[in-house]
């Protein structure tokens, strides 16, 4: 079975659980770190050549042998691609020079040089999300598949991939651009300015819930995704380990900041530069929330209304009332997905909490070095719209609108939840585990 439960929030934030680093034999201070031109995390690993990301693997299986990106102007002037040629004819590009930048607990970013200015960001979560964000102009992307893998185009914005071992993956275009299977059987994409090519892998198999989430992302109805993962967890009932939150943005005007304020509680702050609402997709581990009761979802402290269909969920965008929906799915590691449709913006606080969430344990760990600070801290590298929030109320933000993502690390050993700006001890938080159980109960 795949994931035991799924919770989707309406600002398309998807939170997924990653296996514990310690359980995988990886020390918490070295997990998700780069060594030279290579990166190895809990789920994702890859190498970086002069002009390509190579051997991109998710949970030990190579999904992509190489990924190259290059500006359309350089590609066409170089003679490899004829001006006006069909995208399927683009089977080879030289590729812009790449450099592996700073890494966080859950993410590694590769920057393209030359005229491209594109970025390739690998997210170390259960889906091994890879995002290629176009730079200042149109870009070509060519992704060569692993040996004996097959690809099929579902539309001009979606390509399905199946490896020789049967593992499935999906390429999606978000924003301006298109993607197709090229004449060599690999994948080629043309991204307009601000366009993104997204790759998602499904090591535990793909189901209807995943298809629906992909549609929300590809159609621009979900602008962010969050994965809440547990590391350093043991089998002990009371040892939930360290919680790490990874967020992915699918648009320049949307950012998400996440913080774990108590056991069984999660709060997300979503910012958009436009008034239009959106869907947040979140996948959270049962260990992260440790909840068994009913789920409460609030937006700015106001209870969201549960939706029973995707039509109801999406209709909340632009309405007077935010909605949420809980879905469940099988999986090797128990998790819950909650979809929350936030009706409007600019800044909203989305909280989820189970009926029996423990509000007595509150701690955080600085994601930069994994050491306990005694203050609630949200961290990210300052290259792409990240925010660092310290427990004393100071907030600093570095903005690069190419891709806004944040990483939050929480160690449930110290009391400091009250120090988070914008988060309170009583903030409604998402107990995804409770959501998962609730969903299964309702489906009976």
Q: pLDDT by residue (tens digit) across 86-114?
A: 999 999 999 999 999 878 888 999 999 87
Comparison of pLDDT for 146 and 271, the residue scoring more? 146
Least trusted range by pLDDT, from 188-192, 204-208, 388-392, 440-444: 388-392
In the chain, residues under CATH classification 2.70.98 are 33-202
Task: Characterize the bridge pairing of strands 276-285 and 222-231.
Answer: parallel
Q: Which CATH architecture has domain 33-202?
A: Distorted Sandwich (2.70)
Q: What percent of the chain has pLDDT over 90?
A: 39
**Mean pLDDT on 121-143:** 93
Residue 177 confidence (pLDDT) above 70: yes
Which helix (H) or strand (E) segment holds residue 321: the answer is none
Euclidean distance between the first and final Cα of the chain, in Å?
17
**Mean pLDDT on 148-161:** 96
Q: Tell me how far apart the 2 most distant CA atoms of the chain are, in Å.
A: 64
358 forms bridges with which residues in the sheet? Answer: none
Residue 179 confidence (pLDDT) above 90: yes
Grade residue 256 by pLDDT with cuts at 50, 70 and 90.
Answer: confident
Q: Are 422 and 290 in contact (CB under 8 A)?
A: no
Work out the number of other CB atoms within 10 angstroms of the CB of residue 164.
Answer: 13
Q: Which two tokens stand for residue 11?
A: 């600002």
Comparison of pLDDT for 396 and 200, the residue scoring more? 200
Residue 188 confidence (pLDDT) above 90: yes
**Mean pLDDT on 10-26:** 36
Comparison of pLDDT for 139 and 22, the residue scoring more? 139
**Mean pLDDT on 211-224:** 93
Average pLDDT, the chain: 73
Residue 418 confidence (pLDDT) above 70: no
**Mean pLDDT on 407-430:** 36
What's the Cα-to-Cα distance from 235 to each of 238, 240, 389, rounded to whole Å?
9, 9, 32
The size of the chain, in residues, is 444
Comparison of pLDDT for 4 and 165, the residue scoring more? 165
The pTM of the full predicted model, rounded to 2 decimals, is: 0.73
CA dist., res. 271 & res. 212, Å (int): 24
Grade residue 289 by pLDDT with cuts at 50, 70 and 90.
Answer: low
Comparison of pLDDT for 73 and 131, the residue scoring more? 131
Least trusted range by pLDDT, from 58-67, 230-239, 275-284, 304-313: 230-239
Residue 350 confidence (pLDDT) above 50: yes
**Mean pLDDT on 378-388:** 39
Q: Are 7 and 283 in contact (CB under 8 A)?
A: yes
Grade residue 373 by pLDDT with cuts at 50, 70 and 90.
Answer: very low
**Mean pLDDT on 314-322:** 92
CA dist., res. 138 & res. 90, Å (int): 14
**Mean pLDDT on 413-434:** 35
- 297: which residues sit within 8 A by CB, 6+ positions away? 9, 303, 304, 306, 324, 338, 340, 350, 351, 352, 428, 430
Instruction: Compute φ and ψ for 362, nearest 5 degrees.
Output: -140, 115
CA dist., res. 330 & res. 204, Å (int): 9
The CA R_g of the chain, rounded to the nearest whole Å, is 20
Task: Characterize the bridge pairing of strands 305-306 and 222-231.
Answer: unpaired
**Mean pLDDT on 284-302:** 72
Grade residue 215 by pLDDT with cuts at 50, 70 and 90.
Answer: very high
**Mean pLDDT on 192-211:** 93
pLDDT of residue 346: 82
Residue 127 confidence (pLDDT) above 50: yes
**Which of 212-221, 254-263, 293-302, 388-397 holds the top average pLDDT?**
212-221
- 10: which residues sit within 8 A by CB, 6+ positions away? 222, 277, 278, 279, 280, 313, 316, 317, 322, 323, 324, 339, 340, 341, 342
pLDDT of residue 333: 60
Comparison of pLDDT for 405 and 423, the residue scoring more? 405
């Amino acid at each position: 079975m795949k994931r035991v439960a799924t919770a989707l929030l309406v600002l398309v934030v998807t939170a997924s659980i990653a296996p514990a680093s310690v359980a995988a034999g990886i020390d918490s201070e070295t997990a998700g770190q780069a060594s030279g031109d290579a990166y190895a995390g809990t789920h994702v690993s890859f190498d970086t050549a002069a002009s390509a990301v190579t051997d991109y693997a998710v949970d030990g299986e190579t999904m992509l042998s190489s990924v190259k990106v290059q500006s359309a102007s350089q590609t066409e002037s170089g003679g490899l691609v004829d001006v006006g040629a069909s995208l399927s004819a683009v089977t080879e590009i030289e590729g812009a020079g790449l450099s592996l930048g700073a890494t966080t607990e859950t993410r590694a970013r590769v920057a393209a040089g030359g005229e491209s200015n594109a970025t390739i960001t690998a997210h170390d979560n259960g889906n091994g999300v890879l995002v290629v964000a176009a730079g200042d102009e149109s870009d070509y992307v060519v992704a060569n598949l692993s040996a004996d893998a097959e690809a099929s185009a579902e539309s001009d914005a979606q390509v399905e991939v199946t490896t020789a071992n049967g593992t499935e993956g999906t390429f999606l275009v978000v924003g301006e651009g298109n993607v197709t299977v090229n004449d060599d059987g690999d994948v080629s994409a043309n991204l307009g300015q601000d366009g993104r090519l997204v790759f998602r892998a499904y090591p535990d198999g793909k189901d209807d819930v995943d298809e629906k989430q992909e549609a929300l992302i590809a159609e621009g109805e979900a602008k962010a995704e969050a994965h809440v993962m547990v590391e350093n967890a043991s089998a002990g009932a009371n040892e939930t380990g360290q919680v790490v939150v990874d967020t992915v943005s699918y648009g320049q005007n949307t950012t998400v900041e996440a913080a774990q304020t108590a056991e069984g509680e999660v709060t997300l702050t979503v910012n958009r530069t436009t008034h239009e609402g959106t869907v947040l997709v979140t996948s959270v581990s049962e260990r992260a929330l440790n909840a068994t009761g009913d789920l409460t979802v609030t937006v700015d402290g106001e209870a969201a209304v549960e939706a029973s269909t995707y039509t109801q969920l999406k209709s909340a965008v632009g309405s007077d009332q935010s909605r949420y929906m809980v879905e469940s799915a099988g999986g090797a590691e128990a998790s819950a997905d909650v979809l929350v449709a936030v009706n409007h913006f600019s800044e909203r606080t989305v909280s989820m909490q189970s009926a029996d969430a423990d509000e007595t344990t509150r701690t955080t760990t600085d994601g930069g070095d994994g050491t306990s600070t005694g203050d609630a801290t949200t961290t990210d590298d300052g290259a792409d719209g990240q925010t660092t929030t310290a427990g004393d109320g100071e907030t600093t933000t570095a903005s690069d609108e190419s891709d806004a993502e944040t990483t939050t690390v929480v160690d449930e050993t110290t009391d400091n939840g009250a120090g988070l700006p914008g988060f309170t001890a009583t903030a409604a938080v998402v107990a995804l585990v409770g959501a998962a159980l609730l969903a299964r109960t309702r489906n009976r």
